Structure formats: C-alpha cells, structure tokens
Amino acid sequence: MLHYATRRLLGLTLVWAVALIVTFFAVRAVPGDPIMVMLSDHAGDAALEARLRADYGLDRPLPVQFLAYIGDVLNGTFGLSYRYVGSTVIDVIRDGMTITPLLALSALFIAVPLGLFFGVFAAVRAGSWADTGIILLLVTFISIPSFALAALLVWMLSLKLALLPVAGWGSPAQLVLPVTVLVVGPMAVIARLTRTYMLEVLDRDFVRTARAKGVRENRVIWRHALGNTMVPIVTSIGLIFGGLLSGAFVVETVFNIPGLGRIAIDSVLARDYPVTMSIVLLFTVFYSLINLCVDLIYAWLDPRIRFDEAAA
Amino acid sequence: MKLLDISGLSVSFNTLRGPVEVLQDVSFDVMPGEVVGVVGESGSGKSVTSLAIMGLLGHSGKITSGNIALSGTELTTLSEEELRALRGPEMAMIFQEPGTSLNPVQRVGDQIVEAMTEHAFCPPAEARRRAVELMDRVGIPAPDLRARDYPHQLSGGMKQRIMIAIALACRPKLLIADEPTTALDVTIQAQILNLILDLKDEFGMGVMLITHDMGVVAQIADRVVVMYGGQVVERSEGDALFTRSAHPYSRLLLRSIPSASQRQDDLPIIKGTMPAAGRFPDGCRFHERCPMAMAACALSVPPLNEAGPAHFARCFRTEAIDELEALA
C-alpha cells in the first residue's frame, strides 16, 4: 500500500512537470508583448522598456527564463504579475488559494452524503411515486446551469425574501448561496449514479443471503448493498471534483467572491498570463491529488483490488 | 409435531402483463430430523417454494392462498420484522451459488458473526469465538486465520462451507438447501452433502434439500417431493418413489440418471421443455410431454391421488404406469 502510494506520487510529479512546461511555454506563445501592454502611454521610452524587460527577466534566453521559472515555482513566488507591477504572483493569488478549495471541499462534503441518501432512498422505492418524483427533481438539478440557478436563488432568497446577502465574502451567511449552487449539480449526479448502482446491487445474491440470515433491512441496504456500490461512486466523485473546481469559476464570478476562479478570470481579461498559468498549475496539482486520494480509498473499500500485486 | 407444514400454497408474481401464478396448491411437510428432497427441473417452482417459506419473495411475489406453519407458527400472516426474527434462529437457507452469495467486501468471519449479533444470539465476543468454532466444524483448516479472509480468497467449496456456517450460526431447526452442490466440482459435492447430513444429526435439524439430481435424493432423502410446473406431481416416503414411481414425469426423470454399470448409446431424455409460468396448458401440466397422455389429460387437472401408503401422484393413469416402458 505504501509502496503503491509512493509509486503513484512519483507518477504525479511527472504530470506536474508536464504541466509546468506547458504553462511556461503557453505564456510565451500567446500573441502580444506584455511589456508593450505595460508601457501603454510610455511606449517609445526605450530606457523604461529595457528596465522592465530586465526586471521580468524577459531579456534573457528562453532556457534561462525556464530555469528561473522553475526556481520561482519552487520558492513559492510563481514569478511576477504583469498586471500588478512589483507584485509576485503569490501575492495576487494568496487569499484566493484558501477560498476556492474551501468552497469546493465544503460543497463536496455536502453533496456526497446528500447524493448517497437520495440515491439509496429512490432505489429502495424503485418504481414508486417517490422514486419518480426524486428522478424528475434530479434531472432538473443536473440540467439547470449553475449561473441560472445562482440568479434564481439570488432573486428569490436575497431580493424577494431578503434572507441572505446577494454577494460578497467573509461571513457565514455569504457562504450559503454559493455553496448551494455548487452542491446542487454534483449532488444530483451522485444521487442518480447511486440509484443506478444500488438497483443493480440489490438484486445480487449476497443481498439475499444477508436477508436470509435475518439482517435488519436498514443494515442490508446501507451496509451490504451500499458498501458494494462505493467503488464506482467514489470513482465518479473524483471526476465530479473537477466539475466543482470549474464550477467555482462561475460561482465566484456571480457572487463576487475573491477566489482563485475569479482571480483567474480577471487575470485572463487583463492578460496577466503568469497569474492565469499559476492558477492552472495549482488546479492541476489539486485535482491530481484528489484523484490520488480516490485511488487509495479503493483499496480500503474493496479488498479485491490488490495494489501490491499490480505493482509486482 | 411437524417442523414445517405447507398446505395449499399458491404464489403469484406481478409482471408487466399482470399476475402470473408460479406455485399452485403446493402441500408437503418436513418432520424434525428428516431430509425431504424436493426435485424438479429449473422453473418447476422449487426455489420459489423455499423463498416463500423464508419470506423472501420480494415486492413482486405474493402468497395468494395457503398456509406455511413452522413449528406450529403460521408464517403467512407474520409481519416483515417478525419473519426477520425467525430467519436465522428458526429457519436458515444456503444457496446454489457460493461464489456470489457472500458479500465480497466483508470478511467471512464477520459475515458469520453478523448472523448471530443481528439476533442478539450471543454477545459479540462470544459470537466471534463461535464463528471460528463453526468454521472449524464445517471443515475449514486454520479457521482463526481464514476468518480474516475475504470471499475472493477462498475456493468455491470453502465458500459453500462458510455459507453453511452462516446458516447454522443460530442453530436453526429447519435448513433449506437450494441446490447446494450444483456449482461445485463433483469431488466437493459429496463432501458438502455429507457435511450437511452430519450437521443435521448433530443439530437435530430438519432439512429441505432442493435439487434436480434424482441420484442425490435417492441416496439421502427420507421423503421425496417431485415438482413440475409449479405443482407437486408426486410425493412419497422412503424408496417408494424410486421403486414404484407412480407419475410418468418422475419415472422419466429417474430413467435420465446415467448409469455407470450399464452402457447406454444415448441418454434418455424427456421430449420438449417445461413451459414458462403462465403458459401452462389446461389440464395436466405435463400432458403435452407425456407419452401416456390421453384426451382426458388435457381437460382437467388430475388431483393428487393415493398411489400407495403415504404415496401420492397427480396422474389419471397411475394404474397403467407400467405401460410407460413400452411407450417411451
């Protein structure tokens, strides 16, 4: 198990190295000279231009710039922002780095239990009115785009009923709407998957065995049946987490939350490429780490998955 | 007192095309300490009968008439929770497919322990000790180590031994074994059957052994019930069914047992296949495949007639049964 985790971590560093190379060259490949953008009115001031190029290290050959970039990533500054002259990238994104994972993880920790609950609830009542009602609701939740849902909730709960703040960040009340918007879609996806897998598992022989030995129905469902649907569900949770990270882009913009998503969008609009690419890098690392966790959870959920044999 | 007394049991399943009757007027009983063999082809209603007894017909299956009494307790009127309390301590079941009948993500020891703790049969610590004892008793070597294994680490025969240990955990009075050896290697089959017989004597259980293997029944059953098309077609005590079978279907089934001492060019077969539930012909359900059928057989259902002491057959032509040899 430890052996497997180490092996996977080594594999991940390779993924991260590729991400590092791609982000570096992508910044250099985009059309437009950032120094000319910075100079704007002062264009033609050759002395200032040369000084700026030297400050940003853009006067050196590409391999040297690349090594410097690696150094910047390793020392945690991620280089200099083009937009906020004199600031490093880390200064620009530091506050956002705690906000977005907080949003995504809290949404995940709400969506998973709710999704499992509704999925199981519907599956054990398959074919009934309650089941049909839940399916309809879930399809609605999956179909509605998050920006539309956000607008609807703000209109209803903030404007009409004045229960919650319209936007902003800092108080617990300001967390409610953005997290709700983030939760709804993934929750519905998990619930639908859970229902499907549960219906399949409830027909399996070992569920009949559990009932035949007099196990209480609640335990049959939540322990024996749900326990055997967890591997595919956890797989999809890993994928859904990617959706939560990108969902944060929309939600942070709509609710004016200073998270990585909004900083990313602002930096794209302002052509602050070092910031954009650092955020891409961070999301890559975050997403790959979550999926590593998912793979490690497999072993714990299903004893048939033998990591050490796979490694041999 | 009878351990299990089934009388006039009929069961229907709801399908998209309306209810389909899969069991009709099934009656037989099991006395304490005896083995009753229930024989028939796939789809004859053997397994449905056992699920009806266990109360495991599910949402779509329903007992439409008849009674099932277990040690005098009427089961058909019990609530789901009352039935659950009986599954394990009073009646237990082992299934055809040991490979898929165990929970793949739970240690086998825990699956035996659970059978006891769910009924508060004994304290958890004692259940754990008893589980290892049971594994030892059903012939699993190094049981204390094997208890920590998951099902995929055990062979088919070992898994069926675990299933037997689970079934016996609360010392049930009735054991239903639904084709317990069908999925196993021939050499393992005899071991498992002998184990069930030994445990029957040791625990004083009644055993309802469901099988399609006439040979097995001939060896070990005290009484035999032959089912066809959801009905009991013949029922007898001891060897009567094997020496003087009174129903053409049973006779033909017996003839289809291959014999090692006798060279046969062709294995005898019963022509045709059993119709699916809901598509049984009028009259005797076997008449379309029966070499002895006459016009009356297609008109009305024959009753279970007495064919000898404690021997019943559902056939109009029982008197003339010996003509079968000449016909088929």
Q: Please give the pLDDT value at position B264.
A: 64
State whether residue A304 sits within 8 Å of chain B by CB: yes
* A83: pLDDT strictly greater than 90: no
Of A205, A219, A228, the CB nearest to B95: A205
Q: Please give the pLDDT value at position B16.
A: 84
CATH number of A95-303: 1.10.3720.10
**CA of B255, closest CA in chain A: separation in Å?**
33
CB contact under 8 A, A228 and B104: yes
Domain B4-90+172-327 has CATH 3.40.50.300: yes
Q: What is the mean pLDDT of residues B218-230?
A: 92
Q: Please give the pLDDT value at position B167.
A: 94
Give the integer Cα–Cα distance in Å for A225 and A186: 22
CB contact under 8 A, B97 and A211: no
Of A204, A219, A304, the CB nearest to B100: A204
CB contact under 8 A, B105 and A215: no
Domain boundaries, chain B: 4-90+172-327, 103-169
User: What's the predicted TM-score (pTM) here?
Assistant: 0.84
Of B42, B51, B25, B20, nearest to B301 by C-alpha is B25
Greater confidence (A168 vs B223) lies with B223
Disruptive mutation site among A125, A208, A213, A300 for chain B (greatest number of B CBs within 10 Å): A213
Residue ranges of chain A assigned to CATH 1.10.3720.10: 95-303
Query: Residue A149 has which token pair?
Result: 């849902």
Of B87, B105, B166, the CB nearest to A302: B105
* A48: pLDDT strictly greater than 60: yes
SS3 assignment, position B58:
coil
Give the pLDDT confidence of B70-79 residue by residue, as tens digits. Answer: 999 999 999 9
Give the pLDDT confidence of B290-312 residue by residue, as tens digits. Answer: 888 888 899 999 999 988 888 99
Q: Please give the pLDDT value at position B265.
A: 67
Tokens 């083009």, residue located:
A82
Give the integer Cα–Cα distance in Å for A181 and A243: 12
Give the integer Cα–Cα distance in Å for A8 and A299: 14
**CA of A207, closest CA in chain B: separation in Å?**
8
Disruptive mutation site among B101, B153, B163, B176 for chain A (greatest number of A CBs within 10 Å): B101
Q: Please give the pLDDT value at position B51.
A: 94
Strand pairing category for B305-308 and B4-15: unpaired
CB contact under 8 A, A214 and B84: yes
Query: Using a CB-CB distance cutoff of 8 angstroms, which residues of chain A are in contact with residue B87?
Result: 211-214
**CA of B115, closest CA in chain A: separation in Å?**
6
Greater confidence (B267 vs B277) lies with B277
